[in-house]
Amino acid sequence: MRTLLAGACCFTIAASGWLAAMALVLRRPGYQGIVALALVFVLQSLLTIGVISGQLGGRVGRVVLAAGATGIVAIGGRAIGVNVTGPHFEGYAVIIGAALILQGLLTLRSLHAGRRTTLGKTAPIW
């Protein structure tokens, strides 16, 4: 599961770089927000890779990671919803939205699975 999550993070980093580059080149209204959101996705992905690799840890890191994972699931769902129901369909947004949902859910599952009680049973994430 960690390999799949790391792959999803790498895809998110690449897709975010592409989105930011397109926003900077096209400079449509609100492009600064798209660039900022892409940066947040990159930071979340790097944090996720750091935690699952064991380089970063601690309670604060896990809480921030869980909050970010919940946020990218919501943003991914919104991206899919807006594009499926909107007047102009953007296939790339649906693919990136699905990848964000996958990354967020795998991150939450990884955090939950990685938290064990002293008896060896899985404890809730909170």
Q: Which tokens is 12 given? A: 């998110």
* pLDDT at residue 115 in the model: 60
Q: Which tokens is 13 given? A: 């980093």
Q: How far is Cα 85 from Cα 2, in angstroms, rounded to an integer?
A: 33
* pLDDT at residue 32 in the model: 96
Query: For every one of its 126 residues, what pLDDT tens digit does the chain have, with 9 covering 90 and above?
Result: 889 999 999 999 999 999 999 999 999 999 999 999 999 999 999 999 999 888 887 888 889 999 999 999 999 999 999 999 989 898 999 999 999 999 999 999 998 886 654 434 555 544
* pLDDT at residue 126 in the model: 46
Instruction: Please say whether the beta carbons of 110 and 1 come within 8 A.
Output: yes
Using alpha carbons, list the distances in angstroms from residue 104 to 57, 63, 85: 18, 13, 23
Phi-psi region of 27 (alpha: psi -120 to 50; beta: other; left: phi over 0): left
Global pTM reads: 0.85
* pLDDT at residue 85 in the model: 92
